[in-house]
Amino acid sequence: MIIAVDGPAASGKGTIARAIAAHFGLPLLDTGLLYRAVGMATVRAGGDPDVEDDALKACQFDNAALADPALRSEAAGGLASRVSVHPKVRAALLKRQRDFAGQPGGAVLDGRDIGTVIVPSADAKLYVTASAEVRARRRQLEDYDRDYPAILAEILARDERDASRADAPMRRADDADLLDTSDLSVDDAVQRAIAIVEARLRR
């Protein structure tokens, strides 16, 4: 059983994907971490994240690199979004994601293009979203040092880049169930997500 969870930054998709994986006893791959690892490795090697071949050189890393806490920073998220526009980078990370999805018993993957490109045949697809204002407030609660307008601007810029790139843009698959978490508590969002997936799997 393969479950795809897509959506924009700070929509709650990571928390929801973790809860779904625990509920169904499936392994989870946060695919954003792969792009974050490439973005950070590109810069650390002195490369330019906007230059495709620089980013491509950073695509060979082992899974241990994904445990680096620095990958969780907002800066790493921005670098990830920049390297993720390059088709060669997306191609280099494709097999890793499909292999993970194809393991016996299945998996949960969360990202931007899981339901549309990585595993279009997923058994259940969830597109998790929330208004940009709510997502910026959530980010601000995690980081009181940053002011709201700057965070909102960053979120809007990331949405725009992720949704407008030519290769595998962020979008809801036609057959994905939509979950808007703007007005939901974390617990309610998680419960609703699990209920939606269970209903989909019964169909």
Q: Read off the DSSP letter of residue 104.
A: T
Distance of CA 153 to the CA centre of its chain: 19
One of 19, 26, 47, 81 touching ligand DC (CB under 6 A) = 81
One of 111, 119, 127, 134 touching ligand DC (CB under 6 A) = 111
**Residue with Cβ nearer ligand DC (36 or 125):** 36
Q: Which residue has the tokens 């709510």?
A: 134
What number of chain residues touch ligand DC (CB under 6 A)? 14
One of 77, 125, 155, 176 touching ligand DC (CB under 6 A) = 77
Separation between Cα atoms, residue 16 and residue 157, nearest integer Å: 24
Q: How many helices and strands in the chain, by DSSP H and E?
A: 8, 5
Diameter of the chain measured on Cα atoms: 50
Note whether 84 binds ligand DC by CB under 6 A.
Answer: yes
**Residue with Cβ nearer ligand DC (80 or 197):** 80
Site string for ligand DC, 26-55 (x = CB under 6 A): -----xx--xx-------------------
One of 2, 3, 4, 9 touching ligand DC (CB under 6 A) = 9
Note whether 4 binds ligand DC by CB under 6 A.
Answer: no
Note whether 116 binds ligand DC by CB under 6 A.
Answer: no
Bridge-based pairing state of the strands 2-6 and 177-180: unpaired
Separation between Cα atoms, residue 64 and residue 67, nearest integer Å: 6
Please name which of 116, 162, 196, 117 lies closest in space to residue 10, comparing C-alpha atoms. Answer: 162
Binding site for ligand DC (CB under 6 A): 9, 31-32, 35-36, 77, 80-81, 84, 111-113, 158, 162
